[in-house]
Amino acid sequence: MAAPELTSLRSPRVIAARRLAKRSFRAKERRFIAEGPQSVREAIGHLVEVYVTPDAAGRHADIVDAARAAGVPVLTATDEVIAEMSDTVTPQGIVGLCRFLDTPFEEILAGRPRLVAVLAHVRDPGNAGTVLRCADAAGADAVVLTDASVDLYNPKAVRASVGSLFHLPVAVGVPVEQVVSGLQGVGARILAADGAGDRDLDAELDRGTMGGPTAWVFGNEAWGLPEETRALADAVVRVPIHGKAESLNLATAAAVCLYASARAQRAPGGCRSVTFS
């Protein structure tokens, strides 16, 4: 087995990658790190370089081959180098240096999205990544992070998305008022998810109001949505609690809401058959 090409923790490549743990450096370089085989596999079209231990290169030869076929340089590195580049306690031996991939909000609007997840005031990167994953699984057309939300490229957010970050358009840094007005302008109904909402999700489904283009607005993990954000929505909807649980966490509530819309939109008469003029 060939000796690793990157062995020094003082290598300029290693130092540059490690700096991307800080948001300011990510923003300056418009680069971020994707860790682990799943994230790197999904990131192929956005990769600048791949760093991998010889052992991991053998285990994940398909990823290495795909990266090289895409013209992405692949450099072997020691376990210590990969650990220095990584944000996890137990690195999996492969990391990718990626380009920023956020989509302009105007471009998302131009696509007439039918299902959108809006993260307003979401501060926990793990939750942000998990909601993005839920949106991807539910078939959402886009995700928007407002200017009051966490950095999309935070290492924990990237890991929590489990590759979904690379699957659907994501806009970042958009004021919530602009998000709401823009989505309403292309025909979306704005639903704010809140445990104290005056509308019940089951009742909305029973009334048949969920089949049209919809944007769900999700708030802060601890204190939900501020009143001024709730006031922007067409309706404030709560997920019913049928048991004794005090509440649902953000990601679970988001999954329930997004799947409710996805199911309604795919039913006969839902917006999946609508043609925009």
Q: In the chain, where are the structural domains located?
A: 12-99, 105-270
Provide Rg for the chain, Cα atoms: 21
Q: Are 145 and 119 in contact (CB under 8 A)?
A: yes
pLDDT number for residue 27: 95
pLDDT number for residue 13: 94
pLDDT number for residue 3: 66
Class of domain 105-270: alpha beta
Give me the amino acid identity at 84.
Answer: E
Cα separation, 131 vs 114, in Å, equals: 17
Q: Give per-10-residue mean pLDDT for the chain (277 aa).
A: 80 95 96 96 96 96 97 96 92 96 97 97 94 97 95 95 96 97 97 92 93 94 87 95 90 96 84 37
Q: Are 30 and 98 in contact (CB under 8 A)?
A: no
pLDDT number for residue 277: 28
pLDDT number for residue 269: 60
Q: What is the pTM of this model?
A: 0.90
Q: Are 33 and 82 in contact (CB under 8 A)?
A: no
pLDDT number for residue 5: 86
pLDDT number for residue 275: 33
pLDDT number for residue 270: 54
Cα separation, 21 vs 112, in Å, equals: 35
Q: Are 105 and 186 in contact (CB under 8 A)?
A: no
DSSP structure string for 65-90 = HHHHHTT--EEEB-HHHHHHH--SSS
Query: 12-99, superfamily in CATH?
Result: Ribosomal protein L30/S12 (3.30.1330.30)
Q: Identify the three-state secondary structure at position 193.
A: strand
